[in-house]
Amino acid sequence: MANPRALPCDEAAIRASATVPACAAHKTWVLAAAVLGSTLAFVDESVVNVALPKMESDLGATLAAMQWVINAYMLCMSALLLVGGATADQFGRRRIFLIGVVVFAAASLGCGLAANVGVLIAARTVQGAGAALLVPCALALIGAAFDERERGAAIGIWSGASAIAAGVAPLLGGVLVDHWSWRVIFLINPVLAIPTLWITLRHVPESRDPLAGSAIDWRGALLAFTGLGSVVYGLIASSARGPSDPRVLTALPLGVLLLVAFVLAERGSRSPMMPLELFRSRVFSGINVLTLLLYGALGGAFFFLPFLLIQARGDSTTAAGAAYLPFTLVLGVLSRWSGQLMDRFGARGPLSVGPIVAALGFVLLALGGGRYGFTLLAMTVLGFGMAVTVAPLTATVLNAVPTHRTGVASGINNAVAAIGSLLLIAALGSVALAVFNHSLDRELRAVDAPAGVAQAVHAARNGFVIPAMPASLAPAERERARTIIEEALVQTVRFALWIAAALALLSALSAALTIPRGQQRGVPLPGPPGTGPTTRARALRETSMSSIGIPFRARTRQALEYSFPRPTSTAVVADAHGRR
């Protein structure tokens, strides 16, 4: 499945790395370790969503708990991502990569063996911390092992492996969930970790950034983690406790205050993980607003879609995973073409039209109500909209800042994408749960259901799965209760998808208001050796996605390889730590 939590500027992390001779001597092994390490995270993120309905049913959990299963991971990932690469710069990429793999694999084992939903959420939290170390280190290792002439081929191999992982994972995950258990999707990760650790320990040399600053912005990371965590807790808790509950009234303002403290700390820090001066650029601020809204909409929609297909329409988990294939295939096939759009129209046009087409995809999903053929059509349209958007988005992020700040700019945009999904799943999930409970009550009133049917329907409140029907009900009454719950689910997910469509339209408006007309069209760009000047947008014709199934890793190969000087840092966040 296309991973809504994948990050938009991963290739910039590779391009921002300086080649290290010791790594270059073992480049094949380094690439193998990085590919396997990245696959750990890609596969896990790709399959968890389609397994959510089965998790909720087996664990007797609520929708709020399922929100935490996703958001616990995303919270740690987004809050720690900006310091993960800087930690590797200072303490060694190989060392931090190994720690990330071990933490991720151990947490995956905890997820697979979790006896209850609380243990599962705790293990997912640790898993997110491992991913925040693993992913940036995997990218930096590739950059350290391959010089500028070889990086295109290396990224192609990494991209192809990601495509296979993202394309096969949801389908394979659906089969495992249908025929074995959702636990198996987590237990695969320790198996993949074994060859990753063996290759890294035996064949990957240690490397650091000798110019990395000694200060790491742990204070900023802590404030971001606690602030976002408090806001997310308040949003999710409000669905069950109500907005006037003291815990909600405490958590939300506290989270806002902590995030304000984070901004103040970053403004006064000598080595901030998020340099605020970058946001003085209208284009950089606008493109991050677009990222927040569009990726949040995508993350929220993909959170609800499996519940619609599996619970409301009765499709198998395998079929639900297969429903994402049109999205990933269209995105992969058309990714090269998006660079031609930039060459002809600049960035503003694609970044305005792409989200509008994506909004149309969300609308079609809502109108289809989970009917499978309609869903496949809607996912095709959604994939087309994202194909128009992703490459111009990445290039606009990098062009909006000075060339020596492209590393930290891409890191910030990656974090914004993750935060958008984090916040939208929390907020939209809570609102949708209230809508679902209200829909159940409305449906019961409309049909004047008998007491037994009403009791069976009330058992579905606060969750998005259809509970087991009481044996005391007659077959006709069971079917009646199921129909009421299914209809309420369809109405609720439709509501969520309409919200996603509105957010996508707002992201298009952000592009139209903040990106100048003709932005990035005809910008001089030195070509490869032996060629004449080209344009940055034309170079994007060489775009390929890091994965057919991972929409947010835009492959701006020529644009990044020939237009930006290489920062000395080896990580996407390196520019944030003491180098101006």
Rounded to a whole number of angstroms, the CA Rg of the chain reads 23
Q: Which residue has the higher pLDDT, 118 or 147?
A: 118
What is the domain count for the chain?
A: 1
Strand partners, 524: 535
**Helix, strand or coil for residue 44?**
helix
Q: Decide if 454 is inside a domain.
A: no
Strand partners, 151: none
Strand partners, 443: none
- Phi then psi dihedrals of residue 160, to 5 deg: -65, -40
**Lowest-pLDDT range, 153-167, 293-307, 500-514?**
153-167
- pLDDT value, residue 23: 54
Q: Decide if 513 is inside a domain.
A: yes
CA–CA dist 266, 459 (Å, integer): 47
Q: Decide if 432 is inside a domain.
A: yes
CA–CA dist 509, 161 (Å, integer): 35
pLDDT surpassing 50 at residue 577: no
- The boundaries of the domain holding residue 319 are 10-217+271-442+485-566
**Which run of H or of E encompasses 34?**
helix 27-59
Q: What percent of the chain has pLDDT over 70?
A: 76
pLDDT surpassing 80 at residue 90: no
Work out the angle between the directed axes of helices 117-145 and 63-91 (0-180°, nearest 10): 30
Reference 254, options 235, 275, 273; nearest CA is 235
Residues 137-157: b if buried by 16+ CB within 10 A, e if exposed: bbbbbbbbbbeeeebbebbee
Q: Decide if 425 is inside a domain.
A: yes
Which residues have C-beta within 8 Å of that of residue 198, sequence separation ≥ 6?
Answer: none
Judge whether 578 and 213 are in contact, CB under 8 Å: yes
Q: pLDDT tens for residues 16-63?
A: 454 555 555 567 787 888 888 877 877 777 788 888 888 888 888 888
Q: Decide if 474 is inside a domain.
A: no
Average pLDDT of every residue of the chain: 76
Which residues have C-beta within 8 Å of that of residue 277, sequence separation ≥ 6?
Answer: none
- pLDDT value, residue 504: 94
Q: Decide if 193 is inside a domain.
A: yes
Q: Decide if 97 is inside a domain.
A: yes
Reference 573, options 395, 406, 405, 411; nearest CA is 411
CA–CA dist 435, 419 (Å, integer): 24
Q: pLDDT tens for residues 197-228?
A: 998 888 887 776 665 556 777 888 888 889 98
What is the domain-level CATH number for residue 53? 1.20.1250.20
Q: Decide if 477 is inside a domain.
A: no
